[in-house]
Structure 1
Amino acid sequence: MPTPGTPLARLGFLTIGLFDPADPAAGHETTLRTVELGERLGFDSAWLRHRHLQYGISSPVAVLAAATQRTSRIELGTAVTPLGWENPLRLAEDLATVDVLSGGRLNPGVSVGPPMHWDDVRAALYPDTADVEDFSYTRVERLLRLVAGEPAASFAGREGVVEEWSDRVQPHSPGLRDRLWYGGASTRSAQWAGQAGVHFLTSSVVRAEGGSTDFAQIQADQVRAFREANPAGRVSQGLVVIPTDGATAEQRERYAAYVEARSPRVGVPQGPGRLLFARDLLGTSEQIAEALYAHAGFREVTEVVFALPFSFAEADYEQILTDTAERLGPLLGWSPAA
């Protein structure tokens, strides 16, 4: 058994919502049932990841709008929305609408940079403005101002008989600005997030910095850099965690094969961005808890959003979430929400 440190305050999970392109409705329904299950198990939050032009959820905000009507307590987030695909004004309207529908439970996470496979999608995404689009932090700053209720137009008032115009995004959802997160993988991003007054999402991917390939230590250093810039900000760590306490023999075999197939990339910087991937944590809850307490990044946080493996079945997610809530969470000092 690990030696408990500071009790884990908040426990969430993340999914990409995989679906069969021949029957996409079924996959989206599975995602909604998974969110409902998370609420019943007492998880604090459920997060969806964008998957543009793939067979995962391309519009998490739309799916979360549906989830607001099937849950009542669990917080709902995006981890993350790549702003290179978004118009900040339109996204601000969507986020505010879903936040209102949820009763103030939305936690939008965003990131910047050009869209993935930029050269392949630029003609469809920005046919007239691709060469002048700004994919820097200023795109987040625009979103923050609009969500906060700063002017979006120069006109407000009545026009004609019944039309009333506002000069700021409607609906306005007070408090949403304070629940925005930035997903980053570098020390620069961590520092920027702190300075911008948003929370920080750190995942199972970081940039190899300073010649080091020690994922856990790099992550811990980035968390500390964020906190230096924003001591009051929240930080959430996201790793792939697969407890096997309640798994069948067949599930354990499949899970082990999944982890093994992904293991060659661990510890080896990938691509021009020199990305480092964390090792997936597979084993009993006791084994995973011990590994987490030995992880320098985990020791810096009191919130986690564990990622569900991308390609598993609904029954697998039910087993993993149940073991996480009922076995692993308590070993980390966490208590399920009422």
Structure 2
Amino acid sequence: MSIDLGFLVFLNYDEDAGARQALDDGLSLFAHAEALGYDSAGVRVHHGVRTLTSPFPFLTAAALRTERIRLSTGIIPIGWEDPLRFAEDAATADLLSGGRLDLGLSSGFVKDAVDPADRARRVEERLSGIISAVRGDALGDAPFRSRDFAAADSTADVPASDDGDVAPLPHGPYASAPQELYAFPRSPGLADRLAYGAGSLSSALRAARLGLNLVLSTIHSEATGPTLGHTQAELIQRYREEFAQHHPDRTPRVALGRSILPILDDEDRGSFLRLKEFYDALVTDDGQYTDSSRGGGQASPLYAGDPAEIVERLAADPSLVLIDELVLTPLTELSVAQKKRVLTSVKQTVAPGLGISDRNLQPK
């Protein structure tokens, strides 16, 4: 198979003083991945915790330190996003990157006390608003008119028009009648690079109807197959069928996350073996949680050990033949140096066995 190879990291930190270091570490990982020939580098976004919360400034900084690699977000929780500001910030970052942004979205309405049908409706409305804003559609009446500015500042020297109404301000695009509101700037092709992180079949089908690409992670809320790979393979097929029905002129992209930990020598065994044992105690090789209190769903096992064995196990995953990109998700417990080692070993020892070429490898 011929697929792209990306990676996704969490930029977590322990103290407020460590935020700058976490950002710098993330930028160094992006540069390292580009030098290795990775196709994409991504970050996960969370709010209210010590991790990356503002992706667009970070991705803009990453764009200035790289030249080729695609820049992505694992997910951005849309429950906290205003469609207009999202479109403005995303387009600005995409233009500065030369059109290299791939933006993953998720529902972000986890704590809303609403019934499932209402929750689904609200998620779809927010997604539609973001898509429309990024696409350049009108978002409704402008919230300000020159009359409002004059009323807010009675000392302002604002000329009156012939009919007694307030004339447009000379330094802004405001008129005395309501205007439709659009997001500016616009970045060509960005709307086609929006994706949705689906954790269920229903959310994947919603993404297909809305014309969004698909991102699947290492966990899933449903267990319809004997392994996570079987469950996600069925979901991908259903998603592609639904997408073709609603958008026959486009071909969507599907990205799939997996945690891979090659163990090459005694140094790796000393660094990674205990971590491997910890994860093996949480999830079985077929993707079942060992703790029944976690409820339903499935998770990806940790693909750790000899690279040849990792390739054999991944090749047996039925979902991998249906995707466009395999996304490496290094474990959060790893140090920056360990993450760089994993990025290197996966690219050099696992990727070739999966048919992932070195077409993007930078010359030394």
TM category, shorter: 0.7 to 0.9
Encode CA deviations 1:254-311: one digit per residue, 9 max, x unaligned.
Answer: 4324423533794149778733211111112211111111112223223111111112
Q: Which residue of 1 aligns with 2:304?
A: 282
Do residues 301 (structure 1) and 328 (structure 2) align? no
Q: Distance in 2 between matches of 1:226 and 1:281?
A: 26
Q: How does 1:67-86 map to 2 (within 5 A)?
A: 67-86=62-81
Query: In the alignment, is the contact (CA less than 8 A) between 1:112 and 1:135 conserved in 2?
Result: no
Check if 1:19 corresponds to 2:38: no
Identity of aligned residues (%): 29
Counterpart secondary structure, 1:151: coil
Task: Write the deviation string for residues 4-33 of structure 1: whole angstroms up to 9, x where unpaired.
Answer: xx23x2100000112231422111110110
Aligned length: 319
Secondary structure of the 1:245 match is coil
The structural deviation recorded for 1:72 is 1.1
Q: Relative contact order (C-alpha < 8 Å, sep 6+): which is higher?
A: 1
Task: Tell me which residue corresponds to 1:162.
Answer: 171
Q: Does 1:215 align with 2:228?
A: yes
CA distance in 2, matches of 1:258, 1:272: 17
Give the letter for the 1:292 counterpart: L
- Structure 1 residues 316 and 309: alpha-carbon distance in aligned structure 2, compared to 1, 3 A threshold: same
Q: Distance in 2 between matches of 1:208 and 1:167?
A: 40
Do the aligned partners of residues 196 and 133 (structure 1) sit closer, same or farther apart at CA in structure 2, a change above 3 Å counting? Answer: closer
**Alpha-carbon separation, structure 2, partners of 1:93 and 1:290:** 44
Distance 1:50 1:261, change over 3 A: farther
Secondary structure of 1:305's aligned partner: strand
Matches within 5 A, 1:64-143: 64-115=59-110, 135-143=122-130
- Hey, what's the Cα distance between the residues in 1 that align with 2:278 and 2:86? 35
SS at match of 1:238: strand
Deviates more, 1:200-209 or 1:316-325: 200-209
**Structure 1 gap segments, 5+ residues each:** 1-5, 120-130
Work out which of the residue numbers 22, 27, 33 in structure 2 matches 1:38.
33
Post-superposition CA distance 1:157-179 (Å, at most 9, x none): 99422223683111111110010
Q: Report the 3-state secondary structure (helix = DSSP H, G, I; strand = E; otherwise coil) of the residue aligned with 2:337.
A: helix
SS in 1 for 2:326: strand
Over 3 Å counting, the alpha-carbon distance change for 1:58 and 1:297 in structure 2 is same
Superposed CA deviations along residues 81-121 of structure 1, whole A, max 9, x for unmatched, are 11112222211111111111101000010011414x568xx
Gaps of 5+ in 2: 147-166, 175-179, 245-250
1:217-267, Cα deviation, whole Å (9 max, x unpaired)? 111100001111124111111111112226533213243244235337941
Aligned equivalents of 2:40 and 2:119: distance in 1? 37
**Contact 2:7–2:41 (Cα < 8 Å) also in 1:** yes
* CA-CA distance at 1:143 after TM superposition: 0.2
* One-letter identity of the residue aligned with 1:109: G
* SS in structure 1 of the partner of residue 65 of structure 2: coil
Amino acid at match of 2:330: L
Alignment-derived partner of residue 189 in structure 2: 175
Match of 1:238 in 2: 257
- CA distance in 2: counterparts of 1:35 and 1:73, whole angstroms: 11
SS in structure 2 opposite 1:173? coil
Partner residue, 1:193: 207
In 2, the alpha carbon distance for the partners of 1:251 and 1:233 equals 39
**Which residue does the alignment assign to 1:267?**
288
- Residue pair 1:84, 1:135 contacting (<8 A) in 2 also: no
Q: 1:270 to 1:139 in 2, by over 3 A?
A: farther
Equivalence for 1:127: none
The worse-fitting range, judged by mean Cα deviation, of 235-244 and 146-155 is: 146-155
TM-score, with normalisation over the residues of structure 1? 0.86
The DSSP-based 3-state class of the residue aligned with 2:304 is strand
1:163 partner SS = coil
C-alpha distance 270-186 of structure 1, shift in aligned 2 (>3 A): farther
Whole-Å separation in 1 of the counterparts to 2:269 and 2:354: 26
Greater Cα radius of gyration, structure 1 or 2: 2
Whole-angstrom distance in 2 between the partners of 1:284 and 1:19: 31
Q: 1:102 to 1:271 in 2, by over 3 A?
A: farther
Deviations 1:26-74 (A, max 9, x none): 1111011001111111100011101222222122222112111111111
- TM-score normalized with structure 2 length: 0.80
